[in-house]
Amino acid sequence: MTELNFLCTKCRKGFDCDVGKIAFPIEENRPRFEKDIVCPRCGVLTMDDVELTELGQTQLGEIFMAELE
Ligand SMILES: [Zn+2]
């Protein structure tokens, strides 16, 4: 289980979401998540509806580095 901290751009609230496995396709400039991103208030969101918070970016960076090893 992989939790990332997101900011929902619809309700402007932060939340933690379990995104499952994370893939980093070279041809895309954004990671791909196994599970949907679900805002506790707005429901299922796409990557266009959310931003990674500073904490979320740090978490994602650590996962990316771990993938490389
Ligand atoms: Zn929301």
- CB-based contacts of 37, cutoff 8 Å, min separation 6: 6, 17, 19, 44, 45, 46, 47, 49, 50
Q: Are 20 and 33 in contact (CB under 8 A)?
A: yes
Interval between CA 68 and ligand 1 midpoint (Å):
32
pLDDT per residue, tens digit, the chain (69 aa), is: 899 999 999 999 999 999 999 999 989 888 999 999 999 999 999 999 999 999 999 999 999 999 887
pTM above 0.85, yes or no: yes
Is there a domain that residue 24 lies in? no
For ion ligand 1, residues whose CB falls within 5 Å: 8, 10-11, 39, 41-42
- Residue 64 forms part of a structural domain: yes
Q: Are 19 and 34 in contact (CB under 8 A)?
A: yes
Number of domains, the chain = 1
- Assigned domain for 28 exists: no
pLDDT of residue 1: 82
CA of 62 to the centre of ligand 1 (A): 25
End-to-end Cα distance, the chain = 19
Q: In whole angstroms, how far apart are CA 49 and each of 23, 31, 36, 65, 67?
A: 19, 15, 12, 25, 26
